[in-house]
Amino acid sequence: MKRFYLFFLFLIFSPALICQNDNNFKFDKNRLFTGGNLGAQFGTSTFLDISPIVGYYLTDKFSFGIGAIYQYASYKDKYYPAYNTNTSIFGAKFFLRYNIIESIFAHAEYEALNLETEYFDPMNYRHSTPRFFVHSILIGGGYRQPIGEFSSINLMILYNINETIDSPYRNPIIRMGFDIGL
């Protein structure tokens, strides 16, 4: 497992290493992009996901960015209302993306989520505080459909390489999102 952490640390510091090799690096606001994921499911189980991102194309193929995460989940049991639950998940992420070819990219992401103990560990077997953090390293790739020079619709398949019993989702993780060039 230490190999994965070392690999991810290398990925995190890659943008700084690339900038140091180019003495003429200048920030170009045209290389900024925003976007993220939006998701919703309604019914007996309700799920909302709002995950905005801000990123920067360091080169034509390599980009990195940060994002915020908010998710809401609830379950309503029409026969046993005592089993009704709802929770909010908050977090942040840092990601790196490399466009292998125009439509295919590799993606690495560090994600920290703050979860509610009552919902994710109701018997307090592992956590004694009302909320706790789960740290995930997601690796995978995706398909990018360009809709402009720095804008696209993305479909990703990611794997949490340090998945634990506390992880709120299971492998593989499928995401659909968008990037909009500024």
Beta strands in the chain (DSSP E): 32-41, 45-57, 62-75, 85-101, 104-116, 131-146, 152-160, 173-181
Q: Are the C-beta atoms of 112 and 93 separated by less than 8 Å?
A: yes
**Domains of the chain with CATH codes:** 2-181 (2.40.160.20)
- CB within 8 Å of 45: residues ≥ 6 apart: 73, 74, 75
Residue 181, C-beta contacts closer than 8 angstroms, at least 6 positions apart: 30, 32, 33, 148, 149, 150, 151
Q: Both tokens of residue 82? A: 């005592």
Please state, in angstroms and rounded to a whole number, the distance separating the CA atoms of residues 171 and 182: 33
> What token pair was written down for 142?
């995706």
CB count within 10 Å of CB 117 equals 19
One-letter identity of residue 11: L
Q: What per-residue confidence (pLDDT) applies to 4?
A: 47
pLDDT tens track, the chain, 182 positions:
444 444 544 544 554 444 445 556 688 888 899 999 888 888 778 889 999 999 999 998 999 999 999 999 888 888 888 778 888 999 999 999 999 998 999 999 999 999 887 777 666 677 777 888 999 999 999 999 988 777 889 999 999 998 888 888 788 988 899 988 87
pTM above 0.75, yes or no: yes
